[in-house]
Structure 1
Amino acid sequence: MILEKLCKEQIIFDQNKQKLNRNFKIIVNYFLGPVLFVWISVSLYNQVKQQPDLPNAWLQVKQAFYGANSWMLWLGILLMPVNWGLEAYKWYLLVNKLQPFSFSKAYESVLSGLSLAMNTPNRVGEYGGRIVYLQPQNRLKGVALTLVSSVGQLLITLVCGLVALLLMRKQIQLVQLDGNHLSGILLQVFLWSVLFFIGITALFFFRMQLLAKMLQWIPWLKEKLAFATVLDYLNNKTYYSILFYSFLRFVVFALQYVLIWQALRVNLPWWEGFWSIALIFLVMAIVPSFAIADVGIRGKVAIAIIGVFSANTLAILAGSVLVWLLNLVLPALVGSLLLLSIKIFKER
């Protein structure tokens, strides 16, 4: 009787736990994200409204599509498929260690992953969208490969961000947060924190396989981490290739920003522009965000950093929104259409 009672209580506990987890996800995805989006949008609106000569700034934004510098805007737009093509090639290199996979299929799976990522914190849903293109027995192993690609991109972002911190110390101290300039001490703490995270990320990236094997010595983790055996197929050449293409993608992404901002008449020098964008990426990599609020957070960070070089707040924000639409929203819409043709579970 006692055992039966305990079993029933455990079942009730598990059911309540699942219900709480489900409710928590609903709150996070459908309440917290939109609230954050509204709050940031109002803040950005107030910043744009305070810009001097706002009608002229609007005119410059419109002229970006057909003015003398419009080629920069269109080149930035054309770089979108290149950006995701590099990410698809990284995925193609990794998945072919597991099963035969074409580049076109890799491109489709990356876009499909992006469509699911739009509704999850820090775009974690991207994993699920990619692995549905794999054979059922390989899908869990695909999670480990997706992790390799993501961590490689993160490592490049952190390293470039650190270089930007070192090269632009004077400019960074001019950045204002809530009306206050960043202190030298705070900047120093941030710099050492980034350096620490680079060390941890690099160790995890290059020793992911060893870490998985060490954790498998823990009995209750052994079966759960069995899918990580796919990492045995990766050699140092593969890891360095992932870093190389991650860096190329970083450059393309940064170039999109610089080109579009130049077309929108943001007075941003090319060299400072590249490293300023590296700082924006660094902050975005560290700050947790929801896809719906991502554009707002990106806009606020861009205004704070690029505002050191240009007072054209409207153009800075417009460029950030345009890049967000091009690189996230548009590919996600295409990916959602591609997902319609995928059968997640095979018919028997």
Structure 2
Amino acid sequence: MRITSHKANQFLSFALKILVVSAAVYFIWYKLTSDEQMNLEQFLNILLKYRVFSFTNILVLLFLTFFNWYFEILKWQNLSAHVRKNSFKKAIKESLASFTAAIFTPSRIGEYGAKCLYYARNAWRKVIFLNFMGNMAQLFATYFFGIAGLLFLITTLDLPLPFFNALLVAGLLVSPFVIYWIMKKFRLRLKGYSIQRLEDSFYNVPEEIRWKTMIYATARFLIFTHQFYFLLLVFKVDVSYPLLISAVFSTYILASIIPTMIIFDALIKGGFAVWVFGLLQVPQIVVLTIVLTVWILNFAVPGVLGSYFVLKYKKTTPARP
């Protein structure tokens, strides 16, 4: 009976891994082939036209992608140290495998569950919180630079509907504090946690880990936004650095407002990017091509690499924290 049960568990585990990988690969392929604004052939032709595939360009883009994920993995290695000592190699496995599981789930929910599988059951709540803390650090970096970018654009450009733009920036500035106040006032919960419990859990994490998490999140943000900026240069967009990087920052903060599945990340960013860069007279087709290229480099490629770790996953008894 135990042998049969063991074989059944092995089969279910294998089937689940195949399902996760198949879903991730399908969603990536779906994104690349079903965009109504730009088909795959058109996308490739534009890349060839601007020589994006030159050796130097590919080297720079892959370099930035590597360090984007290097700092993401460092961030998780740093956070997971609050549960148990974690090697960089293990952090790679946990980060990429959980990312693959997150591709087809709303608001990256799959990432939380996938990371828990590498830890003892009694540490799952802590792992979920630490993952949430890492995502919030990334969101904070996006808000900090994004609001600065929006303020710079609004005060530099002669934009239409100045009142609306001022209202938008004001709303972005105060909305996190309003949400925080409402949740604390009415004792609402976020992912099963009350605000008071989140605060207690946050301050239970050593200060060194908190600061390192913020530094790694900031480094990541600056890397992938400058990857976007580098592509703007490749596509010969002749606009000053302050305006271009402010537009990139603004695109990311506007896109972060809408929770979505990773697979639709390029669609959401594309819509905001077209509007923001339209203010700088950047052609729509160039903006959409850059958004999709950045998505492939930072989401599709790591998602495919993570599939390997999903397939290699073996249920073990993790060390207790």
Scaled by the length of structure 2, what TM-score is found?
0.75
Contact 1:157 1:278 in 2 (8 A): yes
Look up the match of 1:65: 53
Taking the TM superposition and a 5 Å limit, the aligned residue runs for 1:196-215 are: 196-199=174-177
Larger CA Rg, structure 1 vs 2: 1
| 2:60 maps to amino acid | L
Contact 2:102 2:110 in 1 (8 A): yes
Contact 1:266 1:315 in 2 (8 A): no
Contact 2:274 2:284 in 1 (8 A): yes
Residue by residue over 1:250-291, the C-alpha shift from the partner in whole angstroms, topping out at 9 and shown as x without a partner, is 100111111122112233432222211110110111022233
Aligned partner of 1:286 among 244, 252, 257: 257
Residue by residue over 1:41-76, the C-alpha shift from the partner in whole angstroms, topping out at 9 and shown as x without a partner, is 33x349xx9xxxx9x966533x2323xxx6245312
Taking the TM superposition and a 5 Å limit, the aligned residue runs for 1:131-146 are: 131-146=116-131
Question: 1: distance between equivalents of 2:126 and 2:236?
Answer: 47
- State the shift of 1:329 in Å: 0.8
Look up the match of 1:325: 296
Question: 2: distance between equivalents of 1:300 and 1:277?
Answer: 13
Look up the match of 1:41: 35
Question: 1: distance between equivalents of 2:197 and 2:148?
Answer: 37
Change (3 A) 1:297 1:231: closer
Aligned partner of 2:276 among 298, 305, 308: 305
Aligned partner of 1:108 among 93, 110, 129: 93
- State the shift of 1:331 in Å: 0.3
Change (3 A) 1:345 1:231: farther
Question: 2: distance between equivalents of 1:115 and 1:58?
Answer: 26
Question: 1: distance between equivalents of 2:233 and 2:119?
Answer: 41
Look up the match of 1:150: 135
Question: 2: distance between equivalents of 1:254 and 1:314?
Answer: 19
- Percent sequence identity over aligned pairs: 21
| 1:131 maps to amino acid | C
Structure 2: which 5+ runs fail to align? 1-22
- State the shift of 1:240 in Å: 2.3
Question: 2: distance between equivalents of 1:58 and 1:339?
Answer: 32
Contact 2:150 2:247 in 1 (8 A): no
Contact 2:93 2:309 in 1 (8 A): yes
Contact 1:90 1:245 in 2 (8 A): yes
Q: Which moved more, 1:329-338 or 1:128-137?
A: 128-137
- State the shift of 1:228 in Å: 9.3
Question: 1: distance between equivalents of 2:46 and 2:188?
Answer: 56
- State the shift of 1:160 in Å: 1.0
- State the shift of 1:231 in Å: 4.6
Report the aligned-residue RMSD.
3.7
Contact 1:111 1:331 in 2 (8 A): yes
Look up the match of 1:234: 205
Aligned partner of 2:163 among 172, 178, 185: 185
Change (3 A) 1:60 1:309: farther
- State the shift of 1:341 in Å: 1.9
Question: 1: distance between equivalents of 2:101 and 2:82?
Answer: 25
The 3-state SS of whatever aligns with 1:41 is coil
- State the shift of 1:163 in Å: 0.7
Look up the match of 1:84: 69
Question: 2: distance between equivalents of 1:345 and 1:302?
Answer: 44
Contact 1:72 1:262 in 2 (8 A): no
Scaled by the length of structure 1, what TM-score is found?
0.70
The 3-state SS of whatever aligns with 1:120 is coil
Question: 1: distance between equivalents of 2:92 and 2:178?
Answer: 30
- State the shift of 1:200 in Å: 5.8
| 1:60 maps to amino acid | K
Residue by residue over 1:297-327, the C-alpha shift from the partner in whole angstroms, topping out at 9 and shown as x without a partner, is 2222222212233433322211111110010
Would you say how many aligned residue pairs link Structure 1 and Structure 2?
A: 283
Contact 1:112 1:338 in 2 (8 A): yes
Taking the TM superposition and a 5 Å limit, the aligned residue runs for 1:18-29 are: none
